[in-house]
Amino acid sequence: MKYEGWPEPGELVVGKVDEIEDFGVFVDLEEYQDKRGLVHISEVASGWIKNVRDHVREGQTVVAKVLDVDESSQQIDLSIKDVNDHQRSDKIQEWKNEQKADKWLSIAFGEELSDEQFRAIASELIHEFGSLYDGFEQAAIHGTEALESVDLDEEEIDAIVETARENVSVPYVTVTGYVHLTSPNADGVDDVQEALKAAEGNGEVPDEADLEVTYVGAPEYRIRVQAPNYKTAEDELEASAERAVEAIESVGGEGEYHRERQLEEEQ
């Protein structure tokens, strides 16, 4: 989707070199509808430039910084030299992500979606999340809850969430902790098993988190949580350990949570 309106001074934009002249380069802006900017020869590259074509070619995709916008004269002044490698890489990735999100939106609603509806839905997501891609990413991670404050109907939200979860690759982090669980009772093995079931959540773990409890060596058990961010992962890890400790203590046993693996004294 191309934005209507004008870019702001200081903004980084993606464009395609359309025309090269001795005095500079004309660039068609990929993100803005019917907008074209000029990179003066002095803003193409640092140092003295003998031939502009030594630095850019027609059809090349570039990242430029907006220097000035004059709507009355339909003029946008750009600079290529003011964009460093890190900014260029980040902006290109952002642009590619938005192109992906454009396709996802078309997939979510099919060919029957009019241009007007497309822009209305996209505008809602951009207004709420800052970009169309970020909207889909949050929908993939948090489901319908992420879109509660967005002015879309239930069917539209469901379509976005379903498409997001089928297409968005969500970055995950993994955290690990350990619990020691012991029970003095005759059926202590069963007590520990119930505590481990409690650690696994009994349906209380949110959809965006993946929790696994494994045996390390009695009385130690490992809890591994994978989630979209560290806060969620840490919260779920602590909650899991707390459930296990409460369960074992409720039957007279002992439980202890720690982040590092602990070896028994006799080892």
pLDDT per residue, tens digit, the chain (267 aa), is: 678 889 999 999 999 999 999 999 999 999 999 999 999 999 999 999 999 999 999 999 999 999 999 999 999 999 999 999 999 999 999 999 999 999 999 999 887 788 888 889 999 999 999 999 999 998 988 888 889 999 999 999 999 999 998 998 877 888 899 999 999 999 999 999 999 999 998 666 667 778 999 988 879 999 999 888 888 888 889 999 999 999 999 999 999 999 876 554 333
Helix (H, G, I), strand (E, B) or coil at 170: coil
In whole angstroms, how far apart are CA 44 and each of 24, 40, 60, 88, 179? Answer: 7, 7, 13, 14, 60
In whole angstroms, how far apart are CA 147 and each of 101, 131, 141, 167, 215? Answer: 16, 14, 11, 17, 38
Q: Which domains does the chain have, with CATH numbers?
A: 12-82 (2.40.50.140), 86-167 (1.10.150.190), 173-258 (3.30.70.1130)
Evaluate whether 246 touches 198 at the Cβ level (below 8 Å): yes
Give the per-residue pLDDT at 233.
87
Could you identify the residue written with the tokens 């900017």?
Answer: 37
Q: Of the candidates 31, 14, 20, 24, which has an alpha carbon nearest to the alpha carbon of residue 58?
A: 20
Name the maximum alpha-carbon separation found in the chain. Answer: 91
Give the per-residue pLDDT at 72.
93
